[in-house]
Amino acid sequence: MPKHAYTFTKKYRNLTQILTDHDLASLGDAYINFVYSLALSNRRKKPSGAKVKGSMLAEAVRKAGLRGYLPARMTRHMLADAAEALTVYAWLHGDITLEECVALLEKDGDIVNGLSQMLVMIKERTKFS
């Protein structure tokens, strides 16, 4: 996959560093909501804007088997941030495309299942830079 030319991301040694990066989570929040809005728009056959609830992202992190990469005592909000950070990191580094993300969220009516499938795919593809 082609790599994007985004130079503002840090070097990471492991998955935990990516999952706990608050700056990535901030950008990832916008990215996840955009992906979800595109998936909804495709399903509804009209432009739609929506936000993904933190509780859904937190559940997807657990279902994807990512909880073990995170420190103990994390709130639902922190788990949601982890999903956002990892997703945008993967997109920035060309590990997953926008189209793949949209397709995964669009195909399943259950947003948590779609998010967890996306996170599993990202975990399998992500290389550390």
Q: What is the CATH code of the structural domain delimited by 15-125?
A: 1.10.1520.20
Where does the pLDDT of residue 109 fall: very low under 50, low under 70, confident under 90, or very high at 90 and above? confident
Least confident of 1-15, 42-56, 89-103: 1-15
Residue 117 has pLDDT above 50, yes or no: yes
Please tell me the number of Cα atoms within 13 Å of 121 on its side-chain side.
18
Nearest one of 93, 97, 105, 94 to 129, comparing CA atoms: 93
Neighbour tally for 124: CB within 10 Å: 8
pLDDT at 4: 56
What are the DSSP calls for 48-109, one per residue? ------HHHHHHHHHHTT-GGGS-SS--HHHHHHHHHHHHHHHHHTTSS-HHHHHHHHHH-S
Residue 50 has pLDDT above 80, yes or no: yes
Condensed to tens digits (0 to 9), the pLDDT of residues 77-98 reads 999 999 999 999 999 999 999 9
pLDDT at 99: 97
Instruction: Write out the two tokens for 104.
Output: 């995964």
Instruction: Write out the two tokens for 3.
Output: 């790599």
Where does the pLDDT of residue 3 fall: very low under 50, low under 70, confident under 90, or very high at 90 and above? low
More confident residue, 41 or 127: 41
